[in-house]
Amino acid sequence: MLVGGQGTRLRPLTMSAPKPMLPVAGVPVTAHMLARARDAGIDRVVLATSYRAEVFEQYFGDGSAHGLRLEYVTETEPMGTGGAIRNVAERLCGDPDEPVVIFNGDILSGLDIEALVSRHTETDAAVTLHLTKVVDPRAFGVVPTDDAGRVTAFLEKTPDPPTNLINAGCYVFRRSVIDAIPVGRPVSVERETFPGLLATGTPVFGYPDSTYWLDLGTPAAFVQGSRDLVTGRMVSSALPGPIGDCLVLEGAVVAPDAKISGGATVGAGARVGAGAAVDGAVLFDGAVIEAGASVRDSVIGRAAVVGAGVVLDGVVVGDGAVVEAGNELRAGARVFPGARLAAGAVRFSSDRT
């Protein structure tokens, strides 16, 4: 599982935690995907870490609490997706034809992993890619296939995509393909390995699947993924509570007349004051929402404080930041960790035309 990216689009949240460790519906993204792997019968996973490597091992340990055997391989310099995969080669035990399942660590997906592996074995492919359809494929790897499902091209982040079928970030590699990735320099599977295999006529197959799929790389997607887990649109056995309209974690204190809805998560030890409304938002552990505030589709970092009457919609508030009373922030606003926004400093004018 590839968990070494920097998560730049999720800054400032990723200034303190790597993207795959940010809590969605109460537990790290990685925990949800590890649970899916375990539920599909995978019993051993190697985490390919780079950025903030230590936090993964602190949280997951040897994996026994998650029903898995977990190992860690850390790059001293980020080696790209291919370099990260190559880096775990010596930890793989199977023979050269054995299938190895690889996951991007920032995805929530309902993919039937066993079906992906079966397709790989049936077609005798070198690599099999999980494919999914998205409305706007430009931010992804675009993967046209022929009628038999054989991949004809791999176009990473292309401005003019020929299809809206994209690389969903879960692969089965024949072990020998991993061993053939060059060592000692960064390699991108998307820009180098896949196009290289196609250029030599090596069989690469796609496995299109239309179950739930989301890349959590942006704040809007992050909030949506969390909501979908809480409400059960995306099923995860790692969800730390029952499916419902909200998820309130241990030690959180919610005033009786506060309204938590839309699949919102209230983190451990967080507080929501009288009359406040939290709709579809993610409150990390220890966050404080004061009386009468309204927080919608936003992420509130650890121990951050949202003052009385504040209105937030589509906002990211970094860990420990304080948004004092009476502010109003809307889509795209980011408050950096530890920052303090003075009372009433930002408002939206009602006479905008």
List residues near ligand GDD by CB under 6 A.
Answer: 2-5, 20, 48-50, 75, 78-81, 84, 104-107, 140-141, 156, 166-169, 190, 215, 217
Binds 167: which of ligand GDD, Mg ion, none (CB < 5-8 Å by kind): ligand GDD
Nearest distance in Å: CB 80, ligand GDD: 5
Nearest distance in Å: CB 143, Mg ion: 15
Q: Which is nearer to ligand GDD, 168 or 268 (CB)?
A: 168
Q: Which is nearer to Mg ion, 170 or 333 (CB)?
A: 170
Q: Cβ distance 51 to 251 under 8 Å?
A: no
Closest listed residue to residue 117, CA positions, set 205, 189, 203, 190: 205
Binds 283: which of Mg ion, ligand GDD, none (CB < 5-8 Å by kind): none
Q: Cβ distance 80 to 156 under 8 Å?
A: no
Nearest distance in Å: CB 9, ligand GDD: 8
Nearest distance in Å: CB 189, ligand GDD: 7
Binds 179: which of Mg ion, ligand GDD, none (CB < 5-8 Å by kind): none
CA distance 180 to 195: 14
Nearest distance in Å: CB 74, ligand GDD: 8
Residue type, 254: V
Q: Which is nearer to ligand GDD, 136 or 351 (CB)?
A: 136
Write each residue from 180 to 219 as x if it is in contact with Mg ion (CB under 5 A), else as -, in one continuous string.
-----------------------------------x-x--
Would you state the structure tokens that stand for residue 117, as one six-digit string? 């592996």
Q: Which is nearer to ligand GDD, 48 or 266 (CB)?
A: 48
Nearest distance in Å: CB 9, Mg ion: 8
Q: Which is nearer to ligand GDD, 29 or 288 (CB)?
A: 29
Tell the residue number behind the tokens 């922030």, with chain if given.
329
Nearest distance in Å: CB 74, Mg ion: 20
Phi and psi of 175, rounded to 5°? Answer: -55, -35
Binds 258: which of ligand GDD, Mg ion, none (CB < 5-8 Å by kind): none
Q: Which is nearer to Mg ion, 217 or 263 (CB)?
A: 217
> Which residue spans within 175-310 are E strands per DSSP?
204-208, 213-215, 246-248, 253-254, 259-261, 264-266, 271-272, 277-279, 282-283, 288-289, 294-296, 299-300, 305-306
CA distance 54 to 57: 6
- Within residues 104-123, the interface with Mg ion by CB under 5 A covers 106
Exposure string (b/e) for 253-268, b if CB count within 10 Å is 16 or more? ebeeebbbebbbbbbb
Binds 128: which of ligand GDD, Mg ion, none (CB < 5-8 Å by kind): none
DSSP type of residue 50 = B
Q: Pairing relation of β-strands 127-133 and 69-74?
A: unpaired
Tell the residue number behind the tokens 């496995």, with chain if given.
207
Half-sphere exposure of 233 (CA within 13 A, CB side): 15
Binds 3: which of Mg ion, ligand GDD, none (CB < 5-8 Å by kind): ligand GDD
Would you state the structure tokens that stand for residue 74, as one six-digit string? 């850390």
Q: Which is nearer to ligand GDD, 129 or 299 (CB)?
A: 129
* Residues lying near Mg ion in the complex (CB under 5 A): 106, 215, 217
